[in-house]
Chain A
């Protein structure tokens, strides 16, 4: 019985114009965005490889580069927009990266804005979720309005089996569309010789497709529920479109606005004052040492002690400034988490947060890079002290090793388990509501 209903549902969807149009748009957008993102990745990869060569030749300025993530071809996240480089000396470590469009943008872009990049994740989050709404809004309401529901239930068909058949039939079509779009995007990505996925990346891709399936299941459950509740398909579509706009566009951004107002961050002037205040105890000594050091350099007489102290004070100044920036970063993270918490009723936000985690294109990967840059700076400070304490050792000191660690799958799971749980809860809740409403539905 269920098999018969599933088969009919699948056939119905495959024959419907709205599904074919939706699938066409999905595939076209998935292909277009993947081609563009692959070219973007290629450019960034070439820049990175060139920069890595240049990095070896300089001793005073240390340029650190953030490698582009190969999965940004599918889940761009913030990979291309946060800047890819940072230049450090023992005298300072910048608070944010530069390069590409990174200058001055990295901090505000921590927050979710919803429509940052057109990539495969966008196709799932926006296009496929809308397609789900369009194909499922009339799953039950149309059967009711045309009378076929009565005709079906005039047979010895249990209502739960009918709903299960309808549910699975539609779900198979939706997941089939997702897999088709994913396969096409993957083929486009892997057809380029400069791209190869390691086994960990394959696992991430599979987990991401699973996440996408769960996300679409939530919208399918919601659409089915509204379709069961409302007898007129046009009314069901109107309600669902409003819900979709609210969940995908309005609510996520409302969360950001609410968090910005509830959790105030210090202004740039306040930050500057904090930095000055933090270094105030050392300011007099710093000025004195720097003046003496500058005069000594002019005369060609800089004692070891003076040189060492100037490095120590420069490093201390950089450190206190960095600590203020770090504190600001922590507050920003707290604000982001608040926005996340407020927006966590939106499946789109949950999906987005988890997707960038698996693509390694979110803030987590960026923050790992910044932590590694700080570790590198600490090493550079120690090495710079050698200029005055052991010049030979300084000359022989190897270039500072820098490699950005990649976030492990375990960490990614640990960071996203709540997103998975909430998405699964929403999906199950909508299906349970659909089921209950359908059992009680007046089919006359």
Chain B
């Protein structure tokens, strides 16, 4: 982990929806280059809301999201140049081949003039089978689609990566392969913020883990701290604890 400036930063971030629900309550977090930050929490804890705020899909009620030092609300298009996104269920365009999907999203990420071989290299890197490169994505399994989704993130080559429950629904082998790719990206100094329910894999990959409950970050531990603690127990204890007073 480097001590350089954070790529992803939430500064006193809150979100209250129109129906009055407080989805996020004064969240502060930072993810630096080469760091993986895993957000754990039950459904509705505010993990996906955090990612949506980083991507400017919704405006914050208070606080600010920064990507590479750029205020996401003020200059979303500039900020998004420095971040890639992988969602829980990457459907992509079923009638397009893997390479065509990659080509389209690469161009949206300002990566033009890439050769077919360069696309193939990225797909090889995520261990997508060679024969799938020119196959229509509608024939892909979820694991293959997730690999292609991470290929899209890789090809954009942004310093920050946001992952919204990327291993959800993957079989153990596919999930393990996915984490290996994340480890490689971490080595390439990417700042990775991942929301997940998967406590075991979070412990395996994360440099820092945050547990969210009812919109608040109720606990944060570093990898070093977790070596002496049982993350599963901590998580369950927090989930069982009394509801927070809003």
Contact = CB atoms under 8 A, between A and B. Distances in A.
Nearest to A17: B95
State the main secondary structure of chain B at its contact with A: mixed
Given A8-B104, A155-B108, A155-B156, A150 B96 contact: no
Contacts of B107: 1, 4
Contacts of A16: 95
Interface string B47-91: 010001001011000000000000000001110110111010111
Given A12-B95, A442-B58, A444-B52, A151 B85 contact: yes
Contacts of B162: 154
B57 A147 contact: no
A158 interface: yes
Size range of the interface on A?
20 to 34
B87 A147 contact: yes
Nearest to B75: A156
Nearest to B81: A156
B237 interface: no
Contacts of B52: 444
Contacts, number: 67
B83 to A, nearest CB: 7
Nearest to B110: A156
A341 interface: no
B13 interface: no
B57 A444 contact: yes
A25 to B, nearest CB: 20
Interface string B97-126: 000100011011110000000000000000
Contact of A156 (B77, B93, B96): B77
A443 interface: yes
B90 A151 contact: yes
B105 A151 contact: yes
Given A147-B87, A147-B91, A444-B52, A157 B57 contact: no
Contacts of A11: 96, 100
B144 to A, nearest CB: 16
Given A4-B108, A148-B93, A444 B58 contact: yes
B152 interface: yes
A15 interface: yes
A327 B109 CA distance: 70
Residue of B48, B57, B156 most packed against chain A (CB within 10 A): B57
Contacts of B92: 146, 148, 151
A206 interface: no
| 4 pairs of A and B residues whose beta carbons are closest in the complex | A154-B85, A146-B91, A156-B77, A15-B95
Interface of B: 48, 52, 55, 57-58, 76-78, 80-81, 83-85, 87, 89-93, 95-96, 100, 104-105, 107-110, 149, 152, 156, 162
Interface of A: 1, 4, 8, 11-12, 15-16, 146-148, 150-158, 442-444
Given A148-B93, A151-B152, A444-B58, 19 more contacts: A1-B108, A4-B104, A11-B96, A12-B95, A146-B91, A148-B91, A151-B85, A151-B92, A154-B83, A154-B84, A155-B80, A155-B105, A156-B77, A156-B78, A156-B81, A156-B110, A157-B77, A157-B108, A443-B57
